[in-house]
Amino acid sequence: APVPFKPRAAGARAWEPSSPELLAPARFALDEYNRGRAAGSRAVLGTVRGRVRRTAQGSLYSLEATLEEPPCKDPLVCLLPVSKKTMLCTFEILNELGKHILLRRDCGPVDTKVTDNRNESVSSFLPQLNSDPLQQDFSMKITSVFKDFVATYNRTYESEEEAQWRLSVFARNMVRAQKIQALDRGTAQYGVTKFSDLTEEEFHTIYLNPLLREEPSKKMRLAKSLTDP
Amino acid sequence: APPEWDWRKKGAVTEVKDQGMCGSCWAFSVTGNVEGQWFLNRGTLLSLSEQELLDCDKVDKACLGGLPSNAYTAIEKLGGLETEDDYSYQGHVQACSFSAQMAKVYINDSVELSQNEQKLAAWLAQKGPISVAINAFGMQFYRHGIAHPLRPLCSPWLIDHAVLLVGYGNRSNIPFWAIKNSWGSDWGEEGYYYLHRGSGACGVNTMASSAVVN
């Protein structure tokens, strides 16, 4: 399960910025991380920082690195260029007689939670929308998908402002659906549904049943066990 | 339990219904169960009224939610359920207009079922569709396939949606429950949700119950 990443205690010394000495153990850590993965599905190294301790056995490297997972390729669920997943990892690597040994690896996704905010528009949600061609492409795609959604489910909105707000909710929901997809262990596909223009809070309030968890259920008689026919 | 079972193929399940913008899933879960029990005990499949429960079950809270256990009691006290045609669904609470003379089905009792999913499967195959409640995590965006969310994301302690187990089986060796939802046939797999079976996924085994028709 993804957990908020907390680097292990780094001791008294602060993490050093990336230096040439860290690159070899960082590349080794990346190779270990990608072990068994096919070409095209391997993560790439982002930023690296760390520190080194000289010991009797050799050099002990403590690294903190970001690794970029390759973007999702399923066109049904991977509309977003922002879908690229960043992992934040700590590695402990011992270099003994020129040979690297991985002692510890601890990785977790960087928290990219998107918060609901009525004042957000698609462009504020994706701040580089106007400058980044990928983001412009995404904006066009998501707008097109939203138009299909509106037509499919006969959505009407009271004003242009409301429609823009729903578009931004829709875009955020596509990111949420993609995260749910990434964390599902079954074969389920998540994506656009008739509820895709609702915030999480709206969906819970309108369609779900909070009493099921808030009120103790009346004690019912237990069913008799089935007997072998 | 047999390796697979599907009450839809045996005529025990009515068409998928749509609760609309109303938190009345509890009523749909219970009527679905009673429809199955009536069919199995009396041989007739009748589509039953959720609106009667919204209007006349004063213990539950209509569109603000309810509990299947209360709904069974309400059906017993009222004297039965009218059909969908006679007391049609409006999606908002109204004054109770139930008439005992119009009731087409009754129940005698209700029971809580095992939390063991193997026993639930055996019960379902022998006795009929089961009312259950689940954590609805991810269902807002579910399209098709077998959902199996990570347990911390779909905790059995955060149950917020009542549905109906109508069958079970395996797809590509993945065990599933076939779940009738009440969000219309334009959601999920023609209105159905498929959830991993055997792991207590989303608390599917925690609130299983059924009416009893003698």
The C-alpha of A97 sits at a distance from chain B's nearest C-alpha, in angstroms, of 43
Residue B211 backbone dihedrals phi, psi, to 5 degrees: -75, 160
Whether residue B107 contacts residue B213, with contact meaning beta carbons closer than 8 Å, is answered with: yes
**Is A184 part of the contact surface with chain B (CB cutoff 8 Å)?**
yes
Q: Is the dihedral of CA A211, A214, A217, A218 positive or negative?
A: negative
> B127 with B165: CB under 8 angstroms?
no
Nearest to B44 by CA among B53, B35, B52: B35
Q: How far apart are alpha carbons B110 and B116 in whole angstroms?
A: 18
Place of tokens 């504020």: A124
Per-residue 3-state assignment (H helix, E strand, C coil) for A145-188:
HHHHHHHHCCCCCCCHHHHHHHHHHHHHHHHHHHHHHHHECCCC
Which pLDDT belongs to residue A228? 57
Closest A-chain CA to B147: A188
**A210–B144: do the CB atoms touch at under 8 Å?**
no
| Predicted pLDDT of residue A73 | 56
What residues of B are in contact with residue A171 (Cβ under 8 Å)? none
Catalytic residue IDs of B: 25, 161, 181
Report the pLDDT value the prediction gives residue A121, as an integer from 0 to 100. Answer: 44
User: ipTM of the assembly?
Assistant: 0.96
Amino acid occupying residue A180: I
Q: Which residues contact B39 (CB under 8 A, 6 or more apart)?
A: B11, B12, B45, B46, B128
Nearest to B187 among A193, A205, A209 (CB): A193
In this prediction, residue B10 has a pLDDT band, given cuts at 50, 70 and 90, of: very high
Q: What is the pLDDT of residue A180?
A: 95
For residues A141, A144, A145 and A151, what is the CA-based torsion angle, rounded to 10 degrees? 180
Say whether pLDDT at B131 is over 90.
yes
**Predicted pLDDT of residue A137:** 79
Phi, psi of A47 (to 5 degrees): -90, 155
Write out chain B residues lying below 8 Å of A190, CB-based: 138, 141-143
Helix residue ranges, H only, B79-146: 117-127
Q: Which residues of A touch B160 (CB under 8 A)?
A: 204, 208-210, 212-213
Q: What share of chain A is helix, strand, coil (3-state, %, to 5)?
A: 35, 20, 45
Single-letter amino acid code for the residue at A72: C
Mean pLDDT for back-to-back runs of 10 residues, chain A (229 residues): 31 52 87 79 83 76 85 53 69 83 78 42 43 71 94 93 94 95 95 96 93 79 77
CB atoms within 10 A of CB B149: 23
Least confident residue range of A216-220, B28-32, B77-81 = A216-220
Q: How far apart are CA B93 and CA B1, in angstroms?
A: 40
The residue with tokens 């400058």 is: A131
B141 part of contact set with chain A, CB < 8 Å: yes
Cα gap B192→A43, rounded to integer Å: 37
Residues 6+ apart with CB under 8 A from A127: none
- The overall average pLDDT reported for chain B is 97
The H or E element that residue B5 is part of is strand B5-6
Q: What is the pLDDT of residue A171?
A: 95
What span, in angstroms and rounded, lies between the C-alpha atoms of A174 and A191? 7
A209 touches chain B (CB under 8 A): yes
**Residue A188 pLDDT:** 97
- Of B65, B70, B146, nearest to A210 by CB-CB distance is B65
On whether any CB of chain B is under 8 Å from the CB of A149, the answer is no
Q: Which of A220, A222, A227 to mutate to test the interface with B (most CBs of B within 10 A)?
A: A220
Please tell me which of the candidates B114, B133, B143 has its beta carbon nearest to residue A189.
B143
Per-residue pLDDT tens over the stretch B159-211: 999 999 999 999 999 999 999 999 999 999 999 999 999 999 999 999 999 99
The helix or strand, by DSSP H or E, that contains position A139, with its residue range, turns out to be helix A133-152
Tokens of A209: 């049943």
CB neighbourhood size of B68 (10 A) = 29
Phi-psi category of residue A168: left, alpha or beta, with phi > 0 → left and psi -120 to 50 → alpha: alpha
How far apart, in whole angstroms, are the C-alpha atoms of residue B32 and residue B12?
Answer: 9
Any CB–CB contact under 8 A between A210 and chain B? yes
Which residues, including other chains, have CB under 8 Å from residue B187's CB and lie 6 or more apart?
A193, A194, A195, B142, B181
C-alpha distances in angstroms, A110 versus A147, B22, B37, B82? 31, 37, 50, 54
Determine, for residues B174 and A223 on separate chains, whether the beta-carbon distance falls below 8 Å.
no
- How many CB pairs (< 8 A) connect A and B? 162
CB atoms closer than 10 angstroms to residue A124: 11
**For residue B48, which of B8, B132, B107 has the smallest C-alpha distance?**
B107
Q: CB distance A208–B148 less than 8 Å? A: no
Which letter does DSSP use for residue A192 in this model? -
Count, in order, helices (H) and strands (E) of chain B: 4, 9
